[in-house]
Amino acid sequence: MWIIQLCIIILTAGLCGALAKRIGQSRVVGEIAAGLLLGPSILGTVGGEYYSAVFSSSAVPIMSKLGELGLVLLMFQLGLHLDLKVLRERGSMRIPVAVALAGIVVPFAIGCGIAVLSLPVLAIDVPELAYVVFCGVTLSISAVPVMARIVVDLGMTGTGTAAIALTAATLTDALGWLMLAMIAALTAGVLAWQDILRNVLLLCVFAAVSLLVIRPLWRSLFRRMQGAGGVARLLPLVFCYVLMSSWITAEIGFHSAFGALVAALALRDQSAFVREWSQRVDGFVELILMPVFFAYAGIQANLGSIPSASFWPWFSLFLAGAVAGKLGGSYLGARMAGVQHHEACMVGALMNTRGLMELIVLTIGLQLHVLPPAVYTMLVLMALVTTSMTVPLLRWLARSPARAAAGKDLAAL
């Protein structure tokens, strides 16, 4: 039955993604909407016993694993194509660091404040401190893979604006995963600081070994395999390396996506390999595996879990806090670092993109029983709305009188 389920998800995600592009949105928005459409709230209400037969509980774990594989490979591809040349020429990480700090502190404070207010209404039976901190983290997260796809769709690849936003979002998400480790400790009833510090140290050691030891080994191996078909023969070995790197970071205590990103940083300077991977693997990941992940996240959301009409004012408050905190905080950080007003607005709009990483975080919160089902559904909708805002907002900014300043490299600043 999982094969039938996979066919339905791929076709629905493809159709919704194409429809989203026709109305000026990113495909990601359509793919998330496809998950909501296929979930128990809509199709489950109409389909009845047929829905239960097709989307049976026995097939759900298979979809979950396929979606996680798609996430790992997408993060690897993101790292391969992430161009930090502009920032290296600048010789400083000052701007993205400022954007990342302001873009996580401001929404985190707003999220914690709203969580304290909503706790007696929306989250009576969950750990209080863990819920408050988790809501702060939820509003602080950006979606690097979704942002990268929007950057490609809008032709912003290689621009200073994209480099600032992608680098800042990467830093923000790294800090977000650290805070999630703290939340997991809170739900266990023990905040073991020594364990958290140990995990961070292990992650730093793993990254250092990958870049200082493994990277030269790969460079030497690719040099020896130059020639007709030589690089292609190394693809199975690279694939296993990416999976093992992801497994190591998962065992350390972080998400497997971080291992894929570290593996990409070790291989991204091999131009022949990057071209080979793009030709042979990119399409399969984007066509098959990523829609499965987005759809699976949407299927877990249940609009029927919304208790009453009083839910929607809270949803509006969280949505307003998410936009004001993330977009406003990132804009403030960029301006403090010396970025001009128009480009700072574009950086803020990109940082407000959620989607993929937000769905990962929300799934973890649901598994840890920090989020009630109603709040999970509300925040999935928030992720969909904030992601759908990004493309129209960027296009509106590009049509403004100051659009000549957008997309230039940082030397112009």
Instruction: Count, in order, helices (H) and strands (E) of the chain.
Output: 22, 0
Rounded distance, CA 316 to CA 52, Å?
32
**Identity of residue 405:** A
Rounded distance, CA 47 to CA 32, Å?
20
Rounded distance, CA 124 to CA 117, Å?
12
Rounded distance, CA 93 to CA 95, Å?
6
Instruction: Judge whether residue 63 has pLDDT over 70.
Output: yes
Q: What is the pLDDT confidence band of residue 184, given thresholds at 50, 70 and 90?
A: low
- Among candidates 211, 319, 343, 191, which has minimal Cα distance to 265? 211
Q: Rounded to the nearest 10 degrees, what angle do helices 60-81 and 290-300 cross at?
A: 130
User: What pLDDT shows up at residue 406?
Assistant: 44
Instruction: Judge whether residue 305 has pLDDT over 70.
Output: no
User: What pLDDT shows up at residue 327?
Assistant: 92
Highest mean pLDDT among 43-52, 240-249, 337-346: 240-249
Q: Where are the domains of the chain?
A: 82-272+305-412
Mean pLDDT computed over 164-185? 75
User: What pLDDT shows up at residue 62?
Assistant: 77
Task: List, for residues 87-119, the tens digit of each pLDDT value.
Answer: 555 445 788 889 989 988 999 999 999 999 988
CA 302 from chain centre, in angstroms, equals: 21
**Contacts with 13 (C-beta within 8 Å, 6 or more apart), sequence order:** 30, 31, 34, 35, 291, 292, 294, 295
- The answer to whether the beta carbons of residues 352 and 327 sit under 8 Å apart is yes
Retrieve residue 20's tokens: 């989203």
Q: What is the pLDDT confidence band of residue 244, given thresholds at 50, 70 and 90?
A: very high
What number of residues does the chain have?
Answer: 413
Retrieve residue 40's tokens: 């128990």
Q: What residue has token string 């480790």?
A: 181
- DSSP assignment string, 116-153: HHHHHHH-TTS-HHHHHHHHHHHHH---HHHHHHHHHH
* pTM more than 0.85: no
Rounded distance, CA 192 to CA 184, Å?
10
Give the CATH number of domain 82-272+305-412.
Answer: 1.20.1530.20
Q: What is the pLDDT confidence band of residue 83, given thresholds at 50, 70 and 90?
A: low
Bigger pLDDT: 184 vs 221:
221
Rounded distance, CA 171 to CA 192, Å?
23
User: What pLDDT shows up at residue 404?
Assistant: 45
Task: List, for residues 366-399, the tens digit of each pLDDT value.
Answer: 777 788 877 888 888 888 888 888 888 888 887 7
Rounded distance, CA 184 to CA 177, Å?
10
Q: What is the pLDDT confidence band of residue 29, given thresholds at 50, 70 and 90?
A: confident
Q: What residue has token string 């609009």?
A: 303
